[in-house]
Amino acid sequence: MPEDTKGKKEAESKDVEMKDADEKKDKEGKDAKKEKEEPPPKTPRTRLKQMILLETIAQNLKTIAAGVTAGDPRVMGRVLRSFAQLRRTMEPEVLKALLEDSFAGKYEFVDPARPNKAQYIAAVPPADVEMTDADKAKPKEVEIKFPQLSKPYPPELEAYAVLSLVVKLSDKNEKEKSLETASALVLFLKTLNRRTLDFFNARAYFYLSLAYERCGRLSEIRPELLAAYRSACLRHDQMGQATLLNLLLRNYLAYNLYDQALKLVSKTSFPESRPNMQYARYLFYIGQIKAVQLEYSDSHSKLMQAIRKAPQTASVALGFKLAASKLAIVVELLMGGIPERSFFMQKELKEQLRPYYAITQAVRSGDLHAFKECTKTYEALFKKDKTLTLINRLRYNVIKTGLRSISLAYSKISLQDICTKLGLESPQDAAGVVAKAVVDGVIDATIDYDQQFVKSNQKLDLYHSCEPQKALHKRIAFCLQMHNDAVKAMAYPDENDNKDAEDPEEKREREKRELANIEDEEGGDDDMII
C-alpha cells in the first residue's frame, strides 16, 4: 500500500510538471505571435511630411541650379508647377531656413535699396498652431538642411525663395505683407534680363495683381502691367505674354471696361505655345466680352472650350469652373436653347447653380411671374456674378416661350388674356410683343387691332413639304464629306520602316513615358486659375 501511494504521488507530480511546461510553452507561443502581429513603430506623420517637403525643396534647388548652368528656361516651369504641392505643406521654420540659405551665397546682382534677408524672414507668417514651451524644448525630429550648391548663388534661387514667401502670404490672406513682398520681388526681377527668370517674373506679376485686387486698388497696377506686357513681347517671353494679357483683361473687366478689353484683344494675339491653364482663362474672358457684345454663339463656344480645358479633377479650380458654368448657362438661354439637366447636377457645383436652375425653369416654361420673382430673389448674387445685365435680357426670351405655348393652345385669344397670362402691363404692350414675335418668326399669327384679338394661322404638316428631304440630304452630304476627308488623311507605313521597327513592348513603354510627360506639362498650374 505505501508503494502504491508513493507511485500515485509521483504520477501526480509528473502531471503537474507537464501542465506547467505546457502552460509555459503556450505563453511563449502567444508572446511570439503578438510580437509577429505587432507592426514596427511608424514614423510620425508630421515628421514624414516634413521629410517630403525638404526633399521636394532640395530637388527644386538642384533643378534650378542645373537649369541655370544649362541655360534652359523650361526647367523653371517644372519647378514652379511644384508650388501646388508645396503651398499646402510649407512650414514657417522651413521657409525661414530657405530664405536664410538663399541669401547666404552673395552674387553680383546686389541692390542696397532692396529689402534684406531680415525683412523677408520677419514677413514669414506664423504657424497655424502656436508651439508651446514644451514643444520648443523638444529636439527637432528632422534637421532642416539644404544641398550645398556652388557659390555665388544665381538670382533664380532668391527668386524661388521669395516667391515661396509670397505664395504663403497670399494663402494666409496677409494683404499688406503680400503686396509689399510681391512689389519688392517684381522690382528685383526688373533689374535682371535673364530668360531663366521669365517664369518667376510671370508668377510674380500674377501674385502682385492678386494682392492689389484684394486691397481694392486693382486700377493702380494697370500701367505697370501694360509696360510689363510690352517688355515681354520684346523679349519673346511667351509665358509672360500669356499671364500679363490675362491680367490686363481681368483688370479691364473688373471695372466693366469692355470696349478697352475688346481693343486689347483685337491688337494682340495669344502665344501659340500657350500654357493650358492660361489659355482656359483667356477663353473665359473672351467669352465674357463676346456675351456683352451680343455675340452669343461665339461666346458660348469660347466658354465651353474654357470649361473643357479647365482641370477635370473635382476639387481643383472650382471657382473658375463655377464662374464659367454660370456664364455659359445664361448665354445658352440667350441663344434660345435650354442647358441639359446633367449640367446642373454636377456634384461639386449643384448647390451653387441652384439659382440659375430656377431661372432656366422659368425661361423653359415661359412663366414671366416666376422669372421676375426669381430675379428679385437672387438679385444680389447675380450682381456679384456680373450676370444680372445678361439675365435681364432674358425677359423677351421668356415672353417668346410663353407666346409660343399660347399660340399652340389657342387658335384665337384676346390681347387682354395674353396680357394677363404673360403678366404684361396693358393690352397695348401685349400687341407690341406679339407683333415683334410675328416679325421674328416665333409664331405664325395675325393681329386684329379692331376687335383686339390674335388669331393663329393653321399649321401645315411639315412632312408634306420638302424640309425632311433637305435635312436628310444635308446629313448625307456631311457624312460623305467626312468619309472623303478621312480617306485623304490616311497614312500607310513605308515598307522599309518595318525592317527597323522597334519592339512592340518598347513602343508601349515609350508612349507611356511621352503621355506622362504631357500630363506633367499640362498639370500643376491650377493655382493660376482664379
DSSP of 65-128, one letter per residue? HHHHHHT-THHHHHHHHTHHHHHHH--HHHHHHHHHHHTTS--S---TTS--HHHHHHTSPPPS
Intervals of the chain under pLDDT 50: 1-3, 6, 16, 19, 32-43, 107-110, 112-113, 134-139, 519, 521-526, 528
CA distances to 227, 304, 309, 341 from 271, rounded to whole Å, are 18, 20, 16, 36
Model pLDDT, residue 480:
93
pTM for the predicted model, two decimal places: 0.72
Burial class of residue 405, CB neighbours in 10 A (0-12, 13-18, 19+): middle
- Give the sign of the dihedral formed by CA 283, CA 317, CA 59, CA 97: positive
What's the pLDDT score for residue 522?
46
Q: DSSP letters along 137-169, please?
A: HSPPSS-------PSSPPHHHHHHHHHHHHHHH
Are 325 and 343 contacting, i.e. CB atoms less than 8 angstroms apart? yes
Determine the pLDDT at residue 41.
45
Counting every residue written for the chain, the total comes to: 530
Cell of 128: 497655424
pLDDT digits (tens, 9 = 90+) for 180-199: 888 888 888 888 888 888 88
Q: Which three cell numbers stand for residue 225?
A: 502691367
Query: Which residues on adjacent β-strands are paired with residue 436?
Result: none
Provide the pLDDT for residue 16: 46
Per-residue pLDDT at 526: 46
Burial state string for 379-388 with b = 16 or more CB within 10 A and e = fewer than 16: eeebeebbbb
> What integer pLDDT is reported at residue 36 of this predicted model?
44
Extended beta strands in 268-369, E state: none
pLDDT at 143: 65
pLDDT score, position 128? 63
Closest CA to 422 of 365, 377, 376, 366: 366
Which residues, 6+ apart, have CB-to-CB distance to 52 below 8 Å? 89
